[in-house]
Structure 1
Amino acid sequence: MLAAPPPTLLVIAKAPVPGRVKTRLTPPFTPEQAASLAEAALADTLRTLETVPASRRLLVLDGEPGAWLPVGWQVVRQSGGGLDERLAAAFAAAARLAPEAPALLVGMDTPQLSAAVLAEPLSAARRTGVDAWYGPASDGGFWALGLARPTERLARRLLLGVPMSTADTGRALLDRLTAAGLRVHHLPELTDVDTVRDARLVAGRAPTGTFAARLRSLDAGAADAAAGAVGDTPAEAAR
């Protein structure tokens, strides 16, 4: 009997370009600073998934790859359409590249994700009897979706028409998985980085990561600037 193949791991992301990513962090951060935080979150996510056993690692990207992209990741361009269509297309791409392997997709907004959260559930020993993996997000969305048999037909059936970016997105997707008769393994709930409050919460839960370090650096810079402004004379502050 052949051993079960390791999964295909996918990260769906936007290139960290100012004004296009993490716009809800502006203000208090500038578009450039928000993009810097997005790049740090993406870097942490890619680095974590590099330590999870996989047959392939695919970055499903909207935009152009940059120096932040590590070696070993294959870039797949995001399709057009809404997020539901782009997610379905990502699974279809995984099915074409590795038709016998399970596929699990995560976003770029959970830099606190640890390898242990995925490595054990995706191991060959633990995959028996599992058809899908579902990771709920604290805002009502979801941060992970995995399919044991990720055909294009199944992905479209599960995802097309699911309302995205609402407080009911995760529930709607879970209802689709249940209605399809899939046996679902539930992953832990995580917080997406959407707002500054989210960013500080996530950084506190993964204080040694690149994201947390970048946030501390930006906060320190803002504190220094504020201290300098307090020390200015009225004439200097007006310049």
Structure 2
Amino acid sequence: MRRALLIVAKAPEPGRTKTRLVPPLTPDQAAELSKAFLLDTLHLARQLAWERISVVAPAGSATALAPLLPPKVILLEQRGIGLGDALRHAFASQFAESFSRVVLIGSDSPTLPAAFIRQACAALERFDLSVGPSVDGGYYLIGMRHPHLGVFEDISWSTASVFAETLQRAHALSLDVSTLPTWYDVDDAEHLARLRNELRSSPADLAPHTRAALQTLSVVAPAASASV
């Protein structure tokens, strides 16, 4: 069984990445944090020891991203119009190279448990799809054992209905779906505060790049978190 892991990422450039974290961060701080997230995600990916790891990024990202990638990690340029096209082409490229398990994650969840990815792959022995829902209504992971690329069609991307619509598409295609535990992306101040709290109570070797980046930042937590 040949396994491929796809990681969706953007070049960590000020003003173009993690813009919903500005404020409380400055554009430069947000870019540094985005870089740290990617480095920790790559570290997680290499621990899995899968046969292929690729970073899927928008066109023009090579100059910024290539120096961050470990040896043997491939940079794939996004193809098509919109996120749905990009995901469809990314999965199709891996199945075209005879990978039998393809799993995609984002680079916005630096503390994502490796166990969730292993669980997703194991579930593909019996299910057509593995999907990990995010607390914001999207998903942090999607995996498949055959190119069921129709699950990326007719989705309202970047909305709170992405996960629900994906399940509806899977049902319409008569696909069996395994749902993973819910996790979170760090896209706004609320989830940045959650990340900081998680790291305070976690082993020091969890997400070391993110931990180091946060230590250099002066972050104001959202007012709502004061009552938690």
User: Given the two structures, how large is their TM-score scaled by the length of structure 2?
Assistant: 0.86
- Larger CA Rg, structure 1 vs 2: 1
Q: 2:197 aligns with which of 192, 201, 204?
A: 204
Query: Which shifted more, 181-190 or 211-220?
Result: 211-220
Q: CA deviation at 1:100?
A: 4.2
Q: Structure 1's 100 and 214: CA in aligned 2 closer, same or farther, altered over 3 A?
A: closer
Q: CA deviation at 1:87?
A: 1.1
Q: Tell me, what secondary structure is at the counterpart of 1:67?
A: helix
**1:182, 1:85 → 2: CA distance?**
20
Q: CA deviation at 1:149?
A: 0.8
Which residue in the other structure is 2:134 paired with? 137
Which residue in the other structure is 1:18 paired with? 14
**Is this contact kept in 1: 2:14–2:28, CA < 8 A?**
yes
Matched, 1:186 2:179: yes
Q: Structure 1's 140 and 121: CA in aligned 2 closer, same or farther, altered over 3 A?
A: closer
Task: Flag structure 2 segments of 5+ consecutive residues without an equivalent.
Answer: 221-228
Aligned residue pairs, count: 210
Q: 2:146 aligns with which of 146, 149, 169?
A: 149
**Is this contact kept in 1: 2:131–2:141, CA < 8 A?**
yes
CA-based RMSD: 1.8
**1:182, 1:61 → 2: CA distance?**
28
Q: CA deviation at 1:195?
A: 0.6
* Cα offsets for 1:173-198 (capped at 9, x unmatched): 11111221212111111111111221
**2:187, 2:75 → 1: CA distance?**
24
Q: Tell me, what secondary structure is at the counterpart of 1:51?
A: helix
Q: CA deviation at 1:145?
A: 0.7
Matched, 1:33 2:29: yes
Task: Flag structure 1 segments of 5+ consecutive residues without an equivalent.
Answer: 223-239
**2:15, 2:125 → 1: CA distance?**
44
**Is this contact kept in 1: 2:124–2:130, CA < 8 A?**
no
Q: Tell me, what secondary structure is at the counterpart of 1:50?
A: helix
AA matched with 2:90: A
Counterparts of 1:1-239 in structure 2 under 5 Å? 5-62=1-58, 63-64=61-62, 65-97=65-97, 99-123=98-122, 126-150=123-147, 154-155=148-149, 157-206=150-199, 207=202, 208-209=206-207, 210-219=209-218
Q: Tell me, what secondary structure is at the counterpart of 1:40?
A: helix
**Is this contact kept in 2: 1:100–1:149, CA < 8 A?**
no
User: Given the two structures, how large is their TM-score scaled by the length of structure 1?
Assistant: 0.82
AA matched with 2:162: T
**Is this contact kept in 2: 1:6–1:53, CA < 8 A?**
no
* Cα offsets for 1:150-186 (capped at 9, x unmatched): 2xxx31x111221101111110011111221212111
AA matched with 2:151: L
